[in-house]
Structures are given as structure tokens and as C-alpha cells.
Amino acid sequence: MIQDQQSVPVLRMATQADSTTIFELVNSSDPHPWRLSLIEEALHSRHNWLLECRDSGQAMGWLTASMMFEQTELELVITDVHRRRQGLGRALLEQWLDWSKQQGCEEALLEVRESNLGAIKLYLLLGFEQVGLRKNYYPLDEGGSEHAVLMTCKLK
């Protein structure tokens, strides 16, 4: 987690009132950003956590996940592009997994671009394992596509 005292992160549940803040974070930090309508839908129908700077209230990270019966699925996790590799993504993921266990979930699912090696490494460290591949799932800006790596983690 960030050690800089002026940007101490605070983790809390995200609400509909955070939609514009999250939209700005996603648009500045994700090469394939979600539309505002998708963010608003996620805030309405899924479980969401926001990491923000204690002093400024600036969004540092967001995670949204769905839950159905005893499974939870990561829909999106994003951290500020200027604050990567500082433990923010891990903090969001650990919060999601801990919360999911408390809700009785037995399995966590996710998919990730095969080129996102940093995220894959983090997911493996958190106990996920690769269980499949969706071929040519994600479009590439330069044309073509790349595979989605399917991962799962047993929570019980």
C-alpha cells in the first residue's frame, strides 16, 4: 500500500454518487474504458469498492464484481495509471475476496487479457489458477485480437 502520507488511500464501498469520479478514473487509466452508462449500471447492480485519497478524495482505484449463488466474478479492477505497482490493486482484490468469503461464496472467477502479465502474476499470488482460454476475445487497437485467460480461485 502507498506509504506517501499525503496520498493515504481510504477503501470504501462505492455508490451511485461516485459515477463521475469513477468515469474519470477509468477514462484516464484504462486503454479500453467503460462508458458512463456501464459504470452506472455496475454501481446499481454489482458490488463495488473505491480507493480514494484521504486528503483530496481523488479516486485511486475501483473494483466491481458480481455475485450469483456461491460464485463471484470480477468484472473490472482499475487503478490510477500513475499509482500502479503500489499495492492498490492488491488491496481492492483482497477486499473483494474477503467480502466474498463472508457472503458464503465458494469460488471467484475472472478473465484477463493474456498480455496483462502483471495482473496475471498478482492473481496467481492471490491463489487464482488458469482454467481456460477464450480465444481471440479482446480486440486490439492495431487490429486483430488477443486471448482472455480464464482464472478461478477456491474460496472455501
Q: Tens digits of per-residue pLDDT, 12-31? A: 999 999 999 999 999 998 88
The residue whose grid cell reads 456461491 is 70
CB 22 within 8 A of CB 60: no
Calculate mean pLDDT across residues 44-63: 90
Of 111, 114, 129, 138, catalytic = 111
Mean pLDDT in residue range 114-130 = 96
Distance CA 13, CA 50 (A): 6
Q: In this model, does residue 5 exceed pLDDT 80? A: no
Let me know if 107 is a catalytic residue.
no
CB 24 within 8 A of CB 50: no
pLDDT at 144 over 80: yes
Question: pLDDT value at position 1?
Answer: 43
Query: pTM for the full model?
Result: 0.90
Q: Would residue 111 show up in a list of annotated catalytic residues for this protein? A: yes
Q: Distance (Å, rounded) from C-alpha 95 to C-alpha 152?
A: 17
Q: Which residue is catalytic, options 41, 107, 114, 123?
A: 123
